Amino acid sequence: MSSCDTCLVRNRAICSVLETDALDELNRIGRRKNVRRGETVIWEGDDAPIVANVIDGMLKLTTATGDGREMIVGITYPSDFIGRPFGASSSNSVTALTDAQLCVFTRSSFDGFAKQHPGLEHELLERTLGELDRARDWMLLLGRKSAAERVASFLIEMSKRLGGRACEGPTGPADRFELPLSRQQTADILGLTIETVSRQLGRLRDAGMILTPDRRTIEITDWAGLEHESERG
């Protein structure tokens, strides 16, 4: 049995567009890699020798500011693709937020494979455009939305990406997930202070939209209310 046969994200990852023979060929040039929380797999500005499918876990994309601070510019989830095919260096560092498992390819071997399989190249383009759309949405969130809208939007995005569930309304099943970010990281990515994030989470909890059994666990109990909160401006 190949790694592809046991892959948790086989039907959602970029390689889902491949036929069996092509998938077998891709399996031969890839390898599984376990990554521990805090481990960096790609460094900003360095040569980017690998690309990878995220099988399990979450990673952050970061860039360094001029004064040396780290800025989180993106988060990757299971089935996402990391690295820069057809490019020489990486514009971001990629670091594991949780223990993670990757399906890793050398960039040169993946580039050669993709050139022989137009369907995979097309899927790469589709995902790149999707990431561009999400980046534009994030610019809107940071530039126009209030603190309350930012926190609500963030929870909705995290829940959808982690659970794969569309909003089901206030009577639908609650969605429970673990936040992989610390309060400081959440504040940084939303352009807020820790105090503001904590205050807004407390307000959502008091309004009955979410439950917070501990500092990392979020349970959405009122989808309709939370969606309204994310767009009330």
Q: What is the DSSP secondary-structure string of 15-40?
A: GGGS-HHHHHHHHHHEEEEEE-TT-E
SS3 content of the chain, % helix, strand, coil (to 5): 40, 25, 35
| pLDDT the model gives residue 2 | 63
Residues 224, 209 share a domain:
yes
| pLDDT the model gives residue 70 | 80
The CATH number of whichever domain residue 154 belongs to comes to 1.10.10.10
Residues 14, 109 share a domain:
yes
Give the count of beta carbons closer than 10 Å to the beta carbon of residue 66: 5
pLDDT value at 53 more than 70: yes
Distance CA 14, CA 97 (A): 22
Which domain range does residue 168 map to?
A: 145-230
Contact 57, 96 (CB under 8 A): yes
Report the pLDDT averaged over residues 196-211: 95
DSSP state of 5: G
Distance CA 100, CA 153 (A): 25
Half-sphere exposure of residue 38, counting CA atoms within 13 Å on the CB side?
Answer: 1
pLDDT band at 132 (very low <50, low <70, confident <90, very high): confident
Residues 102, 152 share a domain:
no
Maximum pairwise Cα distance, the chain: 55
Contact 40, 93 (CB under 8 A): yes
Half-sphere exposure of residue 28, counting CA atoms within 13 Å on the CB side?
Answer: 7
Total tally of structural domains belonging to the chain: 2
Give me the DSSP letters along 54-79: EEES-EEEEEE-TTS-EEEEEEE-TT
Give the count of beta carbons closer than 10 Å to the beta carbon of residue 156: 19
Half-sphere exposure of residue 15, counting CA atoms within 13 Å on the CB side?
Answer: 28
- What tokens appear for 56 in the block? 């399990």
pLDDT value at 164 more than 70: no
Q: Is the pTM of this model over 0.85?
A: no
Q: Which of 139, 158, 174 is the last residue of a domain?
A: 139
Q: Which of 117, 139, 161 is the last residue of a domain?
A: 139
| pLDDT the model gives residue 141 | 73
pLDDT band at 9 (very low <50, low <70, confident <90, very high): confident
The CATH number of whichever domain residue 107 belongs to comes to 2.60.120.10
pLDDT value at 72 more than 90: no
- Per DSSP, what are the bridge partners of residue 210? 220
Residues 167, 134 share a domain:
no
